[in-house]
Chain A
Amino acid sequence: MSITPEKLRYLNSHEWAFVADDSSGIATIGISAFAVEELTDLVFMALPKVGQTLTAGSEFGEVESVKAVSPMYSPVSGTVVEIHSALVDKLESLSVDPYNEGWIIKVKMSDPSELSGLLDWESYQKQCSH
Chain B
Amino acid sequence: MQADMPGLLILDPPQSGEINMAVDEALLKNAISDGPVVMRIYQWDRPTLSLGHFQRLEDRDSNPLIAKLPWVRRKTGGGAIVHDLELTYSIVIPNRIDQPTKGHSESLYRAIHLSLVENLRSLGWDAKLSETCTCSMSASREPEPFLCFLRRSPVDILVNGDKMVGSAQRRSATGLLQHGSFLLRRSQSTPELCGLLDATADLISVGQENLRRKNSFDVSSAVDGWIDFLVQALQAGLRKNLRVDWRLGTLGDLCKIAWERTGSRPEQR
Interface residues of A (CB under 8 A from B): 12-14, 34-35, 37-44, 46, 62, 64-71, 73, 91-92, 127-128, 130
Greatest chain A CB density within 10 A among B153, B169, B171 is at B171
Complex: chain A residue closest to B172, CB-CB: A71
Please name 4 further chain A to chain B contacts, defined as beta carbons within 8 Å, in addition to the given A14-B101, A14-B103, A68-B76, sorted by A numbering. A34-B102, A42-B137, A67-B76, A70-B103
Q: Quick check: B133 and A35 within 8 Å, CB to CB?
A: no
Which of A43, A65, A67 contacts B167 (CB under 8 A)? A67
Q: Quick check: B171 and A71 within 8 Å, CB to CB?
A: yes
Q: Quick check: B54 and A69 within 8 Å, CB to CB?
A: yes
Counted as pairs of residues, one from A and one from B, with CB atoms less than 8 Å apart, the total is 79
Chain A residues contacting B64 (CB-CB under 8 Å) are none
Chain B residues contacting A66 (CB-CB under 8 Å) are 77, 133, 135, 137, 153
> Using an 8 Å CB-CB cutoff, how does the interface string of B66-109 with A read, 1 for contact, 0 for none?
00000000011110000000000000000000001111101000
Q: A41-B133, A67-B78 are in contact. Are A128 and B54 (CB under 8 A)?
A: no
> Using an 8 Å CB-CB cutoff, how does the interface string of B128-170 with A read, 1 for contact, 0 for none?
0000010111000000100000000100000000000011111
Please, how many angstroms separate the alpha-carbon atoms of A120 and B228 in the complex? 48
Q: Is B29 an interface residue (CB 8 A)?
A: no
> Using an 8 Å CB-CB cutoff, how does the interface string of B46-78 with A read, 1 for contact, 0 for none?
000000111000000000000000000001111
Q: Is B3 an interface residue (CB 8 A)?
A: no
Q: Is B173 an interface residue (CB 8 A)?
A: yes
Please, how many angstroms separate the alpha-carbon atoms of A14 and B100 in the complex? 10
Q: Quick check: B103 and A35 within 8 Å, CB to CB?
A: yes
Which of B104, B133, B137, B173 contacts A68 (CB under 8 A)? B104
Closest 8 CB pairs of A and B: A38-B103, A67-B78, A68-B169, A67-B168, A41-B137, A68-B104, A70-B171, A69-B77
Q: Quick check: B102 and A38 within 8 Å, CB to CB?
A: yes
Chain A residues contacting B75 (CB-CB under 8 Å) are 69
Complex: chain A residue closest to B177, CB-CB: A69
Chain A residues contacting B167 (CB-CB under 8 Å) are 67
20 contacts between A and B (CB under 8 A): A14-B103, A35-B103, A39-B104, A41-B133, A41-B135, A41-B137, A44-B54, A46-B54, A64-B54, A65-B104, A66-B137, A67-B52, A67-B76, A67-B166, A67-B167, A68-B76, A69-B76, A70-B103, A71-B171, A127-B100
Q: Quick check: B103 and A67 within 8 Å, CB to CB?
A: no
Please, how many angstroms separate the alpha-carbon atoms of A64 and B168 in the complex? 10
Q: Quick check: B137 and A38 within 8 Å, CB to CB?
A: no
B22 to nearest A CB, angstroms? 17
Which of B52, B101, B104, B166 contacts A13 (CB under 8 A)? B101
Chain A residues contacting B100 (CB-CB under 8 Å) are 12, 127, 130
Q: A66-B153, A69-B53 are in contact. Are A43 and B103 (CB under 8 A)?
A: no
Please, how many angstroms separate the alpha-carbon atoms of A26 and B78 in the complex? 35
Q: Quick check: B77 and A67 within 8 Å, CB to CB?
A: yes
Q: Quick check: B169 and A69 within 8 Å, CB to CB?
A: yes
Which of A70, A73, A130 contacts B104 (CB under 8 A)? A70
Chain B residues contacting A65 (CB-CB under 8 Å) are 77, 104
B149 to nearest A CB, angstroms? 12
Complex: chain B residue closest to A128, CB-CB: B102
Greatest chain B CB density within 10 A among A12, A34, A67 is at A67
Complex: chain B residue closest to A71, CB-CB: B172
Please, how many angstroms separate the alpha-carbon atoms of A67 and B54 in the complex? 10
Chain B residues contacting A69 (CB-CB under 8 Å) are 53-54, 75-77, 168-171
A109 to nearest B CB, angstroms? 22
Please, how many angstroms separate the alpha-carbon atoms of A127 and B100 in the complex? 8
Chain A residues contacting B166 (CB-CB under 8 Å) are 67
Q: Quick check: A70 and B170 within 8 Å, CB to CB?
A: yes
